[in-house]
A = this chain, B = another copy of it.
Amino acid sequence: MSRTEQTQTAVLGALSVMPMTGYALREEIRSVLGHFWSESFGQIYPALAELQRQGLVERRGADRARASVFALTPAGTERLRELLSEPAQPVRPRNGLMLRLFFGRQLGPEACRILIREAREEAEARLAELAVSRSESQEGPHAQDRPYWLLTISAGEHAARAAIAWADGALEALETLSDSAAPHPAAEPPVGSKTVHPVREHP
């Protein structure tokens, strides 16, 4: 499944819940799917144009001043099912916190502890947001969808709680490190000296 198809899936899926404008699509995706998905205008508008060309989506009321509302066609519903059945594209990880911690010796234990504390707070905040989503999902006319939505909320909660547990352990581990090894992190590795390492020839 190509990237454009991933975007098409998200757009068709959102339109399957309710017809809306391109702008509303972005808002809806951000607020409802925000914990595990994101799309930008630069993806949404071309995707809508292509979906319309393929007759999967229908554009209504393109007045000059008023934005046009897009709605699924029957073929679009069909196509959504098809896309959902295809295997997902693997995610390319890019975790800035982990990158910093991996080279954490350059930063010193104290700076690392600050980063981890921040990450812990973010996880707590996510947990709170998810609790709101959970109660919000009670309302609304989408009773049939709710069990599935709860699955995604639960996944977010598990991940957030794991992040918090990890952070607590990590903070503790770093504490013993700053006590023992390097009381003055900034002064630790002399900068100018010995930056040239032996070269490994094509491993």
Closest to A71 in B: B196
Which residues of the partner chain B approach A151 to less than 8 Å between Cβ atoms?
A: 101, 104, 112, 170, 173-174
A158 pairs with B148, CB closer than 8 A: no
Asked if A159 is at the interface of the complex by the 8 Å CB criterion, the answer is yes
Considering only residues 113-149 of chain A, those with a C-beta below 8 Å from chain B are 144-145, 147-149
A101 pairs with B195, CB closer than 8 A: no
Q: Which residues of A contact B (CB under 8 A)?
A: 1, 6, 9-10, 13, 16, 18-21, 24, 27, 33-38, 60, 67, 69, 71-74, 76-78, 80-81, 84-85, 88-89, 91-107, 111-112, 144-145, 147-152, 154-155, 158-159, 161-163, 165-166, 169-170, 173-174, 177, 181, 191-192, 195-197, 199-200, 202-203
